[in-house]
Structures are given as C-alpha cells and as structure tokens.
Amino acid sequence: MNMYSHIEAEGTAARSLRRFRGLPTWQRASLVALPLALVAGAYGLSGNQAPALAAPPPPMVTVAEPLAREVNEWDDYIGRFEASQSVEVRPRVSGQVTAIHFKDGAIVRKGELLFSLDSRPFTAALAEARAGLASARSDLNIAQTNLGRAERLVAANAVSQSDVDQLRAKVQAAQAAVAGAEARVRARALDVEFTRVRAPISGRISDRRVDAGNLVAAGEGTGSTLLTTINALDPIYFSFNGSEGLFLKARRAREAGAQSSAVEVRLQDEAEYKWKGTLDFTDNGLDPKSGTIRGRAVLHNPGLFLTPGMFGNMRLSSGGTAAALLVPDTAIQTDQARKIVAVVGADGKVVAKPVELGALVDGLRIVRSGLAPKDRVVISGIQSAMPGSPVRTQPGRITPLTSQAEETPASVPVAGAATLVAR
C-alpha cells in the first residue's frame, strides 16, 4: 500500500464514522445490538454454555507375559593365561656350547636334544674313573684269594686267626673301594650325558640365550647360565581374582548342590565364549588388602593357540541350570535406587512393580523377583505408561535376540551373565 492508498483509507474510515454519528439514535442502537444478538443466539443453542472439548483416548501400549526359560547363570571374571608348566633350561655341567639343535620359538617334545656341550673333558674323566674301577676290582680279587688261602691253612694251625681276620678286613676294604669306583664311573657317565642338554618337558621353547662357542657355567639356581625357557601350553591355565562376594556366592551354590566347575573363556577379539575348561584351583585364603581370592581354571589347548600372558574374559557357572522369567532390557526403568517394570492390571491401569534383576541373556534381563508369570508387562510405549493411568493394550511377544555376545548396559549395573538352555 502506497502513501496515497493509506491516506484514502483513512478518509473512508472518517466518512463512515461521520455517517454513523449522523444516524438517529434508534438506528445506531440496532446496528450495535445485531452482533450481540447473534452471539447470544449461538450461546442459546448450546444451553447457554461454552462447547466442551472431547477428551483424548488413552495411549496405546504393547504388553506381553514374561518369557519363562531355563538359563545357566555365570559370574564374569577377567584374567590371564599362564603356562601349566614353565621350565628354565640351565646346564648341569660347565663347558663350551658346540651346537644348538632347535629353532627359536618352536614346539619341542620332552627328551628332544636342545644343546650340545664339549664332551671331551668329561669323556676323559669317565675313562679315568673306569680305570680306577678296574684297579679296585683287581685289589678285591687279590684280597679274596689271600683270604681263601688263609682260611684253608688255619685248620692246620699254619696261619693264626688274627692273620685271617686281617685278610677278611682287607677284602671288605677292597669291596668298598670297588663300590666307590663304580659310583665315580656313574657320576662321570652322567657328566658326559649332561653335555647333551635335552628338553625336560614338551611345549613352546623361547629363543636361545647363548650361541655356539660360548662357555656356560653349571651351578645351583640362578648361579648357572640360563640357556632358554620352555612353557607347556596344553593344557593351559587361566588365572583370575574374584571378589569376596562372588566367592561367597559360589560357595553357597556348591553347598546347595550346584555344580559350578565349568568355565568358558573368550579372547579380546572374540564375540563368543569358545574356550571350555574347568575350575582347577582356588587359593586357601583371601588377600586382606584387596579382599579378593585367586583362582585358576585349566583349559585344553590342542592347537597351542592360547599363549601365556594373553588376557581373556571368563565366565564361571555359579548356580547351574534354573528356571527364570525374562523381559526385554528396554522394559526396565529406574526409580531412584529401584528398578521397576510397568505392568497393566486387570482394570486397564498401569502399575509400577519393583523387581530384583539378574544377568542379561540375549538382550533379555532375568527378573529374580517382583514379577508373576501371568503379568502383562509393557514392552513398547513405556514413555506413555504412567503409573495409575489407564492405557489401551495390544498383544506382543518377548523373544531373545540371536546374538550371543550381549553386553550389560551401564544403566543396569548387574554383575554376571547367563545363557539360555538349549531346547
């Protein structure tokens, strides 16, 4: 609208106002009363009351009964793999390394030759010991001959009894000398055998710590030269620390007759618990500083894939097989410190039931207490299911997820895990 149009509109309004003021009083009153009559008539058609707004229908939610299944409950631990046997290979005689008969990191069998030491000094010592044995045996033969001759002459009183006793003592001394010489021969033979260092156990060998040509020293403990190490890998141990609460839970379950020795382990890059084993050992006391107890499981490792030092997640069967009610984990709500589940009662109103939760199984949460098998649990539309409010319901169904590697959400801090029993 331009300036001239605005001026023309103002002029038109002023002329209309002058015409209205120029009308008789009764005409002006009729013009004002007509809109009021129309409004009053509209109110009169509705009984002189304003029209009421229609109430919205109750919200629609999906309900289903809890899923009843048999489950195996597990407690979760984190630990490391350890060798079932670990041996430091050290020489039992001193000498020069002449040959190495293994490849670093290879799999060796018990009794397999690993190192060869220079055996010439020990072979010479063995020959000397054998010569000493021959001399001792010769002395024994002479002593026994002299004693036999004297015993024949003593009857004719040609030899005194004291001479016979002395000859008998010489025979006994010669016998002791022979025994000592035989022991020296066995010792020198062992030295020769020890120049060929063999694997004391089967397993994976480490790298060689000395090369051929080096001198190695024998001795007790760490005083000797370390040649290499061997770890036995089949079976292999899995060591872990458990809290006092989980330890008590396992003990209570065992006292009740549950078999809690089965364990399953998965590696850091695995989604499923594929490594099976049994609980092998628990320590004889809890650590007073950390309040934990050390445990150990033993697992078969036929392919020798598992290696000492690797981390793993282990689950330990804590209660055996038991019946359980399961609901979707998304149906769990938090009310301050409580966990609640929305249930639709017979009157069509929502009721909040406090529940005690268990582990997560294929996307479903175990409900230990607080729910009945016939409760209608709200599994969809939870945001609209306010406690005490009426709702409309449609039937649904609770089914486990196909994934077996569910993780516990941070919103439901429940220790442990569980798996469904195959039907």
What tens digit of pLDDT does each residue of 190-229 get? 999 999 999 999 999 999 999 999 999 998 877 899 999 9
Q: Looking at residues 338-365, what average pLDDT do you find?
A: 87
Weakest-pLDDT range from 29-43, 97-111, 134-148: 29-43
Among 15, 83, 24, CA closest to 236? 83
Quote the pLDDT of residue 214.
95
Confidence of residue 163 (pLDDT cuts 50, 70, 90): confident
Q: Per CATH, the architecture of 76-83+231-319 is what?
A: Beta Barrel (2.40)
Confidence check: pLDDT of 306 > 80:
yes
Confidence of residue 423 (pLDDT cuts 50, 70, 90): low
Q: Looking at residues 279-286, what average pLDDT do you find?
A: 86
Confidence of residue 49 (pLDDT cuts 50, 70, 90): low
Confidence check: pLDDT of 147 > 80:
yes
Confidence check: pLDDT of 409 > 50:
no
Quote the pLDDT of residue 53.
65
Quote the pLDDT of residue 322.
75
Quote the pLDDT of residue 301.
92
Quote the pLDDT of residue 36.
47
Q: Looking at residues 184-195, what average pLDDT do you find?
A: 96
Confidence check: pLDDT of 405 > 90:
no
Quote the pLDDT of residue 189.
96
Confidence check: pLDDT of 379 > 60:
yes
More confident residue, 85 or 220: 85
Confidence check: pLDDT of 99 > 70:
yes
* Residue 252 identity (one-letter amino acid): R
Which sequence spans correspond to the domains of the chain? 3-45, 61-71+321-420, 76-83+231-319, 88-226
Quote the pLDDT of residue 413.
37
Quote the pLDDT of residue 31.
52
Q: Indicate the pTM of the whole model.
A: 0.65
Q: Looking at residues 38-42, what average pLDDT do you find?
A: 48
Quote the pLDDT of residue 154.
74
Quote the pLDDT of residue 412.
36
pLDDT more than 90, % of the chain: 40
Confidence check: pLDDT of 274 > 70:
yes
Q: Looking at residues 271-276, what average pLDDT do you find?
A: 90
- Mean pLDDT, the chain, whole residue set: 82
Structural fold of domain 61-71+321-420:
2.40.420
Quote the pLDDT of residue 73.
74
Structural fold of domain 88-226:
OB fold (Dihydrolipoamide Acetyltransferase, E2P) (2.40.50)
Q: Looking at residues 74-91, what average pLDDT do you find?
A: 92
Quote the pLDDT of residue 6.
47
Confidence of residue 247 (pLDDT cuts 50, 70, 90): confident
Quote the pLDDT of residue 330.
86
